[in-house]
Amino acid sequence: MTGSCIDIEYKSEERYAKISIAYSTEDEYQEISLALDEVHKDFPVEHSSYVTDISNGRKVVVVEYHDDYDRQSGDVVEPLMKRLDITTCE
C-alpha cells in the first residue's frame, strides 16, 4: 500500500499483549479490519478490540490479548504487518 498513513505499535508483557493500529481514512480502517479478520483466521487467539480517536483527526484500532500464557499473540504481528505492507514496528 503506497502512501499509507497506517502506523502499528506492539506491546507485550506477561500474559498480555496489545497491537495498536493508527489510521486516517475510512479506506484504511476497512483495510485494517480485513487484515485483522484474515490473520485471526490463521491464528485464532482470544482477543478483544475497540476503536478510539487520537490526535489530528486520526483513530486507532486497539487489539488486546489477555491471558496469553503461550504468547501466541506475537504470531499475529508479522503476518498482519505483511498484509498491511508495513515494514517496521515500534
Whether the pLDDT of residue 2 is over 60: the answer is: no
Which strands sit side by side in the sheet containing 7-13, from one edge to the other?
7-13, 16-23, 59-66, 48-53
Q: Say if residues 70 and 61 touch (Cβ distance below 8 Å).
A: no
0.85 surpassed by pTM: no
CA atoms within 13 A on the CB side of 15: 3
As a whole number, the mean pLDDT across the chain is: 85
Domains of the chain by range and CATH? 7-83 (3.30.70)
What pLDDT was estimated at residue 4?
59
Q: Say if residues 18 and 50 touch (Cβ distance below 8 Å).
A: no
Taking the C-alpha atoms of residue 10 and residue 8, their distance in angstroms, rounded to an integer, is 7
* C-alpha cell recorded at residue 43: 491464528
